[in-house]
Amino acid sequence: MTPQQWNELLAVIRGEKLPQLPVGFIIDCPWLPGWAGIEIADYLTSETHWFAANRTALETFPEITFLPGFWSEFGMCTEPSAFGSKCSFPANEFPYAEKIITDPVHVNDLKEPDPAKDGLLPFMLRRLLWARPRIEDLGHQIRFSVSRGPLNIASFLMGTTEFLMALKTDPEPMHKLLRIITDFLKQWHALQREKIPTIDGLMMLDDIIGFIGEEDFLEFGQPYLKELYATDVSVKFFHNDAPCAASLKYYGDLGINLYNPGIQLSMNELRALAGNRVTLLGNIPPRDVLAASTPDDVRAAVRKLRAATKTQTRWMLSCGGGMPPNVSTENIRACLAAARE
């Protein structure tokens, strides 16, 4: 993002009211390749296709803040690959990682990866290092270290159903698993900050937090997230577009100051739970409105949301979750136009 966009983001997080409602979107491989007219596998494996798609998005929508901005990724395979998961990359479908833990006892055999050399992580980081001077030539900077969260990664390594069941049947090895993943993530984010000094934000995505109740969140989620967000950066960004009613009220205590929710709750309900310390990034329905509706419908949805939202500070307009597939240029422009009215 540009220095101006970064400063505006910091101002919103501080609770300042900007002259216009800021607009931001999480963009990555579910949306960018299709919008840019390339196959997903080409986007993920070609530096030039990846860079061109991100650059075109910035040039097409200069008034929108894209988060994290030039996201170097290999879809959901990024972190599981470091643990040894077999990763599959269909030509134009989302990549996926196969589970490697088929019994909770196998956690005892798991080793903490080295993010500097294991799996796809070195390729992800080297892509950013290759792109950094090109990004800065465009007037932008890399601002975020990025990863999936500890429960999310655990669900890839075990399978979602198996992991959630094991939280109840085998809590001790699940704590050991989350301990290994958390220590790995600390090193991974630290390495990204070390190699790219412009990074001053941490972005983590963990939808599995929304699959558990409050009691399980306090035992299996809160302690590990608190460690990860105990990092000296200005923006502590969390994404969970699964239900958040059981956990959102704790996010401010974890240090999270920017949150991208799903659409299960209204903006007013989200604000009541989040309190005044967390900036909300939302909350237009991503599939049914932003992707599947007409530009007129998008404008109407934004106007309705603005009118209904009681607190206009600590808010960036976005969709509930990341930008979904098949969102058109026209619908994005309609969303921006309604935000500028």
pLDDT reported for residue 11: 98
- Calculate the CA 320 to chain-centre distance: 11
* φ/ψ (deg, to 5) at 96: -145, 155
pLDDT score for 22: 97
pLDDT at position 320: 96
Q: Which residues pair with 317 in a beta bridge?
A: 23, 282
Q: Two tokens at 260?
A: 């991208």
pLDDT of 152 reads 98
What Rg do the C-alpha atoms of the chain give, in angstroms? Answer: 19
Given a cut of 70, the residues of the chain with pLDDT beneath it are none
CA atoms within 13 A on the CB side of 4: 6
pLDDT at 46: 96
Cβ atoms 240, 256 nearer than 8 A: no
| Predicted local confidence at residue 321, as pLDDT | 95
- Structural domain including 217 reads 3-340
pTM of the model: 0.97
Model pLDDT for residues 159-173, shown as the tens digit of each residue: 999 999 999 999 999
pLDDT attached to residue 118 = 98
CB 150 within 8 A of CB 224: yes
CA distance 306 to 324: 21
pLDDT, residue 180, reads 98
Q: Look up the CATH number of the domain holding residue 333.
A: 3.20.20.210
Q: How far apart are the first and last CA of the chain?
A: 24
Distance CA 318, CA 65 (A): 10
If you ran DSSP here, which 8-state letter would residue 16 be given?
P
Structural domain count, the chain? 1
- Residue type at position 14: R
Residue matched to tokens 């979750």: 321
